[in-house]
């Protein structure tokens, strides 16, 4: 193998594929990136057997070949050299790389030992979504998934594809978040469960790629129980999570007895103040008290060894007075993941979920389970 390319392009895409390389893999080959050149196309691939990334870059290929190279050290070297032409030549078991004033040789491992990474091929099921919609959906939903593996189905984001839109849903049992976006092109209805990590890597790739491509194409590799996301010249492949996601639709309230339109910043500032005490209370418990007469929302927390505090702010309130307990941490989480100035909060009883919505956006809903008063 022998090729030349620009340092900036090489560095950018090498950094992307290196993200799924683990520092201490069970198989030594998984510490490496696979390089393959064929018919004027240079491909780089990496995998940890759960996530895989493939990308192809422009290069002047003088000789085709296939080899694997240590990802961490190679990416550090390429990132450290100036933006200029980089020459690579593989001789026997050595990956020799050089620029005008810098050279390095890395030991290689046989490409035959590298795991096979799925490709699109002739997959029948696909859906096409705007990349900006995916980024927004992941930001509003992924944080609500569970962070431990006690129930694996709760560590993923459920993707529900309909004829005209797709919903992203996540829950950890204490809260639930759902965001729906429009589908530009799809192959019909389908549901599948994707690990949160895959979506976080996808949003990173979207942020790193300077491309005019507006769309992410999603291909379901059903025979392999995997999903492939394609953006421009990068493919991200993830295993799907097996198991049944909770039936959640029946717990989303269809009405309310109390409704408030609140300034997000006012709510966050009050939460910050009340959390001075609430963070020392079991479950970060605080009390939310809505008064229709005063037009104010009161947040308070009490800890027997410390004391108590309270913070009030105004909102547009309709319906009944209510007193309900929540985790201050869970409320802060949702508010920090929304970028709207006005937030809608709805509730009915002290034992039913509190509902957060965005003013003027019917495609988003977030539920938070209450605590005992």
Q: What is the mean pLDDT of residues 4-28?
A: 92
Token readout for 102 is 């810098």
Q: What is the pLDDT of residue 23?
A: 77
For residue 254, the tally of other CB atoms under 10 A from its CB is: 5
**pLDDT digits 0-9 by tens, 155-211:** 999 999 998 899 999 999 999 999 999 988 777 889 999 999 999 999 999 999 988
Q: Is the pLDDT of residue 105 over 90?
A: yes
Of 37-46, 114-123, 229-238, 270-279, the one with minimum mean pLDDT is 114-123
The 3-state secondary structure of 310-355, one letter per residue: EEEEECEEEECCEEEEEEHHHHHHHHHCCCCCEEEEEECCCCCCEE
Q: Is 144 helix (H, G, I), strand (E, B) or coil?
A: helix
Hey, what are 335's tokens? 């508010």
The per-residue DSSP string of 89-103 comes to: EEETTEEEEE-SS-E
- CA 296 from centroid of its chain's CA atoms: 35
| pLDDT beyond 80 at 39 | no
Neighbour order of strands in the sheet with 94-98: 60-63, 2-6, 85-91, 94-98, 103-107
Dist CA 69 CA 35 (whole Å):
8
pLDDT digits (tens, 9 = 90+) for 211-236: 888 999 999 998 889 999 999 999 99
Mean pLDDT of the chain: 94
- Residue range 126-249 forms a domain whose CATH class is alpha beta
3-state SS, one letter per residue, for 40-79: CEEEEEEECCCEEEEEEECCEEEECEEEEEEHHHHHHHHH
- Integer Cα distance of 318 and 346 in angstroms: 10
What are the start and end residues of each CATH 3.10.150.10 domain in the chain?
2-113, 126-249, 253-368
Question: 319: closest CA among 293, 355, 358, 343?
Answer: 293
Q: What is the largest CA-CA distance in the chain?
A: 82
The residue behind tokens 């193998």 is: 1
CA dihedral sign of residues 215, 221, 222, 226: negative
Residues 334 and 340: beta-carbon distance below 8 Å = no
Least confident of 119-133, 259-273, 321-335, 351-365: 119-133
**What is the DSSP pairing of strand 185-186 with strand 190-195?**
unpaired
Q: At a CB cut-off of 8 Å and minimum separation 6, what does 20 contact?
A: 46, 47, 48, 51, 52, 53, 201
Whether 61 has a pLDDT exceeding 80, the answer reads: yes
C-beta neighbour count of 124 within 10 angstroms: 9
122 confidence band (pLDDT: 50, 70, 90): low
Mean pLDDT of 297-301: 98
From CA 233, how far away is CA 45, in angstroms rounded? 12
Residue 306 or 124, more confident: 306
Percent of the chain with pLDDT over 70: 99
- CATH class name, domain 2-113: alpha beta
134: phi then psi, degrees, rounded to nearest 5: -65, -45
Q: Are strands 165-171 and 175-182 parallel, antiparallel or unpaired?
A: antiparallel
Report the 10 Å Cβ neighbour count for 12: 17
Do 212 and 65 meet the contact criterion of CB atoms below 8 Å apart? no
Return the CATH number of 253-368, one of 3.40.50.300, 3.10.150.10, 3.30.390.50, 3.40.50.11890.
Answer: 3.10.150.10
Which of 25-39, 183-197, 300-314 has maximum average pLDDT?
Answer: 300-314
Q: What pLDDT sits at residue 73?
A: 96
pLDDT score for 228: 96
pTM of the predicted structure, to 2 decimals: 0.93
Percent with pLDDT over 90 in the chain: 88
């Amino acid at each position: 193998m022998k090729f030349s390319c620009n340092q900036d392009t090489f560095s950018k895409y090498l950094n992307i594929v290196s993200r799924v390389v683990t520092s201490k893999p069970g198989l030594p080959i998984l510490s490496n990136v696979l390089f393959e050149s064929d018919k004027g196309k240079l491909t780089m691939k990496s995998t940890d057997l759960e996530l895989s990334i493939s990308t192809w870059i422009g290069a002047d290929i003088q000789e085709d070949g296939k080899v694997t190279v240590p990802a961490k050290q190679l990416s550090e070297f390429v990132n450290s050299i100036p933006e200029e032409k980089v020459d690579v030549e593989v001789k026997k078991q050595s990956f020799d790389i050089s620029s005008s004033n810098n050279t390095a040789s890395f030991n290689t491992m046989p490409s035959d030992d590298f795991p096979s990474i799925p490709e699109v091929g002739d997959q029948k099921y696909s859906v096409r979504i705007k990349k900006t919609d995916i980024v927004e959906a992941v930001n509003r939903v992924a944080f609500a998934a569970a962070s431990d593996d006690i129930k694996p189905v709760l560590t993923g984001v459920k993707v529900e594809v309909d004829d005209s839109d797709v919903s992203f849903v996540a829950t950890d049992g204490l809260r639930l978040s759902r965001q729906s976006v429009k589908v530009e092109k799809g192959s019909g209805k389908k549901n599948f469960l994707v690990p949160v990590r895959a979506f976080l890597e996808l949003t990173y790739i979207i942020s790193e790629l300077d491309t005019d491509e507006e769309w992410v194409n999603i291909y379901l590799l059903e025979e392999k129980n995997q999903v492939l996301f394609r953006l421009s010249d990068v493919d991200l492949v993830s295993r799907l999570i097996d198991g049944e996601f909770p039936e959640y639709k029946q717990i989303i309230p269809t009405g309310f007895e109390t409704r408030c339109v609140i300034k997000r910043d006012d709510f966050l500032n009050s939460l910050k103040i009340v959390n001075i005490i609430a963070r020392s209370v079991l479950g970060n418990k605080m009390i939310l008290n809505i008064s229709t007469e005063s037009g104010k929302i009161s947040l308070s927390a009490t800890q027997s060894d410390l004391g108590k505090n309270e913070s009030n702010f105004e909102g547009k309130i309709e319906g009944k007075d209510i007193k309900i307990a929540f985790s201050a941490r869970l409320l802060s989480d949702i508010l920090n993941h929304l970028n709207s100035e006005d937030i809608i909060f709805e509730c009915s009883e002290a034992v039913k979920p509190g509902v957060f919505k965005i003013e003027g956006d019917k495609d988003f809903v977030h539920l938070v389970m209450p605590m005992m008063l």
